[in-house]
Amino acid sequence: MKLKILSMYPDLLNMYGDIGNVKILKRRAEKRGIETELCTLSAGQPFPVDADIVMLGAGQDFEMHIVLEDMRGEKKEALRAYIEDGGVFLAVGTGFQLLGTAFVSGEGEAREGLGILPVVTEPSDVRFVGNIAAEIDGVRAVGFENHAGCTRIGNLKPLGHVLSGHGNNGEDGNEGARYKNTVCTFFHGPFLSKNPEQADKLLLSALQRKYEIDALESLDDTYEYRAKETILSKLGL
């Protein structure tokens, strides 16, 4: 078995170590004897239609503008087709906001997004910063959030429900969004470092698109869970 893991714009969108997510996916796959190919996409390069897992991380206004301009046209439509076909996609932070119809710049200005998902980020006087915990499919997950604006996910399902912290907007208790095999989150840290079960869900979804496989071999995640419990304890959970 083999997986092609793609990091989009790692030279532009890599705040808070989000690139660590693809490295974690690669390592967890290889521990199970699964061959992996880790590749990158940047400005001026076509979207590889044979990717099995794709990640889009977070960035600042200048870098986000470059990405938006580069994604207009064929590349955006290729990504839309990949998502609609059930491709495994992880969008983190502003990468999540960019997928929507509108998002907010660092100066609080509304800007047009890629329009791939029915997500809108509205201006807000509050910046959501700090450790966060949420329940995702009955499992507690932890991370670090640092984002401005109130994100509304329309008719999409939330990825999780906030236990401590702010989540998408600090009001409705939702964190992130889920559409087909696309996972969106404001969890940095990187997201998968303290949440190995979420990494394995992405891996299994990608493998099931190509192979007949029901489950993944268990790994020793002692240190990952200790890190998670430390954050949960600090949050009083």
H or E stretch at 164 = strand 160-164
For residue 61, give the DSSP letter.
H
The predicted pLDDT at position 26 comes to 97
Q: What angle do CA 111, 116, 88 make, to 5 degrees?
A: 130
The predicted pLDDT at position 107 comes to 64
Q: Is residue 17 over pLDDT 90?
A: no
For residue 46, give the DSSP letter.
P
Q: Coil, strand, or helix at residue 218?
A: coil
What are the extents of the domains in the chain? Answer: 2-234
Q: Is residue 7 over pLDDT 90?
A: yes
The predicted pLDDT at position 105 comes to 66
The predicted pLDDT at position 106 comes to 62
Q: Per-residue pLDDT tens for 99-137? A: 999 877 666 677 788 999 999 998 888 889 999 999 999
**Could you tell me the CA-to-CA distances from 83 to 50, 77, 89, 140 in Å, in that order?**
13, 10, 7, 26
Q: What is d(CA 111, CA 49) in angstroms, rounded to the nearest whole number?
A: 28
Mean pLDDT of the region 88-94: 95
* CATH architecture of structural domain 2-234: 3-Layer(aba) Sandwich (3.40)
Q: pTM of the full predicted structure?
A: 0.95
139, two tokens = 């499992």
194, two tokens = 């303290």
Query: Contact, 135 vs 163, CB < 8 A?
Result: yes
Report the DSSP beta bridge partners of residue 154: none
Comparison of pLDDT for 15 and 102, the residue scoring more: 102
Query: Contact, 60 vs 103, CB < 8 A?
Result: no
Q: Is residue 176 over pLDDT 70?
A: yes
